[in-house]
Structure 1
C-alpha cells in the first residue's frame, strides 16, 4: 500500500501530464486528456482514503491533493 506522500507524487505527475496533453491536443476534451484525468481522479480518491484510514492530519499532503482536485474541477 502506498503512503499518502507517494500518492501526492503520482498525483502531481499526472496533473502535469494532463496539462501538457491538453496543451498539445487543443483542450480538455481530447480522449488522451480524459484518460489521464480519470487516472488522476482514481489516485486522488485513493490518497484521500489512505489519509483518512491512517488518521493522518498532515496539512501539506491534504493541500497537495486538494490543489490537484481544484486544478481541474
Structure 2
C-alpha cells in the first residue's frame, strides 16, 4: 500500500507537467483511502517541477532494485 512520504514511479506521461513514465515523485497526500495521491516531483536539487493529483493506476511503488536516473526538464 502506498502511503504519505512514499516515493512512487509515474507510469503515464504527463505532458502538461513535463513528466515522463519512470519519473519519481513523493506522495504528499493520500485521497480516498489510496484511490488517488497528491505527488510532488522535484529536481535533484530540490526544486519543485510539478505537484499533481494522480490516480492510483498512474503510479506504482518504487522497487528495491531500481536506480534513480537523471534527465533535464524544460
Which of the five TM-score ranges fits, normalised by the shorter chain? under 0.3
Would you tell me which structure has more strand in proportion to its own residues? 2
Whichever of the two has the greater Rg, that structure is 1
Would you tell me which structure has more helix in proportion to its own residues? 1
Query: Taking CA–CA contacts closer than 8 Å with sequence separation of 6 or more, which of the two structures ends up with the larger relative contact order?
Result: 1
**Normalized against structure 2, the TM-score is what?**
0.24
